[in-house]
């Protein structure tokens, strides 16, 4: 099946508006065409039957193997991350951090501000809702880096630069 087999746990991206930059966990059911696979999502349900997991045919170009379970001890400003929200992983960039430690256990319970470039939103999340954003290049998982020409740090934190060189807050 060209890199994917029945039962493989994968992530599916979407080209649909409102879902760009997101990945949803799924299981490969079977290959249907040369470059298409029937998948069953692990956390998405049929609209008319909330007990039935959603199945759909997806092009190979929208499927990737699951990234390794890499646990970062913390994230820095401008780190690209994936945020678990609305049953999937959404691409964003760390813009701020409010360091919080449990007095009892010493556990890191920091709250991170994350900027979503595709929607322009900035939302706060706890560390356990984040993972390092990884990209698969030539069969290897690598951390992705934000292009410094597009983003920079301002006095108020992480900001996006406009195409004219000005700063968008």
- Comparing 7-16, 65-74, 89-98, the range with the smallest average pLDDT is 65-74
% of the chain surpassing 70 pLDDT: 84
SS3 for 61?
Answer: helix
Which pLDDT score, from 0 to 100, does residue 21 have? 84
Output the pTM of the full model: 0.78
Give the DSSP per-residue string, 112-158: EEEEETTTTEEEEEEGGGEEE-EEEETTEEEE----TTTEEEETTEE
Mean pLDDT of the chain: 83
pLDDT tens-digit readout, 2-39? 589 999 999 999 888 888 889 999 999 999 988 999 99
Distance from C-alpha of 125 to C-alpha of 111, rounded to nearest angstrom:
6
- What would the mean pLDDT of 62-85 be, rounded to a whole number? 91
pLDDT band of 156, cuts 50, 70, 90: very low
Whole-angstrom Cα distance, residue 161 to residue 115? 13
Let me know: does 160 contact 151? Beta carbons within 8 Å.
yes
For residue 145, what pLDDT band results from cuts at 50, 70 and 90?
low
Q: Which range among 51-60, 90-99, 157-166 shows the weakest confidence by mean pLDDT? A: 157-166
pLDDT of res. 70: 76
């Amino acid at each position: 099946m060209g890199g994917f087999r029945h039962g493989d746990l994968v992530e599916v991206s979407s080209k649909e508006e409102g879902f760009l930059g997101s990945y949803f966990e799924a299981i490969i059911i079977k290959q249907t065409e040369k470059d298409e696979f029937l998948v069953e999502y692990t956390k998405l349900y049929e609209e008319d039957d909330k007990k039935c997991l959603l199945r759909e045919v997806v092009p190979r170009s929208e499927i990737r193997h699951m990234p390794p379970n890499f646990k970062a001890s913390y994230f820095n400003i401008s780190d690209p991350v994936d945020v678990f929200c609305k049953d999937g992983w959404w691409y964003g960039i760390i813009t701020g951090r409010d360091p919080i430690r449990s007095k009892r256990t010493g556990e890191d319970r920091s709250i991170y501000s994350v900027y979503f470039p595709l929607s322009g939103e900035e939302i706060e999340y706890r560390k356990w809702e984040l993972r390092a954003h990884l990209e698969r290049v030539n069969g290897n998982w690598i951390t992705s880096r934000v292009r410094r020409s597009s983003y920079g740090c301002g006095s108020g934190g992480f900001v996006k630069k406009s195409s004219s060189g000005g700063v968008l807050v």
